[in-house]
Amino acid sequence: MEKLQQRVKEDGVVIDGGILKVDSFLNHQIDPELMYEVGETIYNKYKDEGVTKVLTIEASGIAPAIMAALKFKVPCLFAKKSVPSTLTEEVYHTDIHSYTKNKTSHVVVSKRFLNENDRVVIIDDFLANGEAALGLYNLVQQAGATCVGVGIVVEKSFQSGKQRLLDAGLDVTSLCEIAALDNGKVTLVGEGEL
């Protein structure tokens, strides 16, 4: 997605430890038109797959996920990182280690909202080591549902996530692929090649 790639190059701020800050359009302030295009691109990829649900994790996955869900005309379900007192029913749960926060969260979704008839697209803002996406896939498997694909806004291709998802048999659609974040500079996959 060219517009997204341009925005990542222009607005992305490289932080120590190979982390990219994109809080002007995705992680703090959100650009709705750009997110709509993100949702539309993921929809176009999986529109013939009989998708019944879009699954993400709070908080930054919600913006792209809800735009995709709007296009699919299906609910957007987000895994919660803590169990609220209002969630009294049975849940599927797993642990997800956050690469950026260096913290493990116990995440849950209600069994009411995911079942064996669901065909799920998983969406997240970033793909690094694949912990979040694989954790969400684990919830899909617990429900006996089918994952038709994983949509990622920004993939850091120099980390292991993409390969881990492919090894798990998942179809992965990344809209912006970053080859390197060296010396404060964002280099996209394919950039500079003839």
Contacting ligand 5GP (CB under 6 A), which of 77, 127, 147, 148? 127
DSSP 164-178: HHHHTT--EEESSEE
DSSP H or E run through 86 = none
Answer yes or no: is 134 a known binding residue. no
Q: Does 12 bind ligand 5GP (CB under 6 A)?
A: no
Answer yes or no: is 132 a known binding residue. yes
The phi and psi torsions of 98 (rounded to 5 degrees) equal: -90, 125
Q: Does 130 bind ligand 5GP (CB under 6 A)?
A: yes
State the CB neighbour count (10 A cutoff) for residue 167: 11
How far is the C-alpha of 114 from the C-alpha of 110, rounded, in Å? 7
Contacting ligand 5GP (CB under 6 A), which of 124, 148, 151, 174? 124
Q: Does 98 bind ligand 5GP (CB under 6 A)?
A: yes
Min CB(150)–ligand 5GP separation in Å: 10
Q: Does 24 bind ligand 5GP (CB under 6 A)?
A: no
Q: In the chain, what are the helix, strand and coil shares in percent, each to the nearest 5?
A: 30, 35, 35
Q: Please report, as ranges, the residues that interact with ligand 5GP according to CB under 6 A.
A: 19-22, 27, 60, 98-100, 124-132, 156, 161
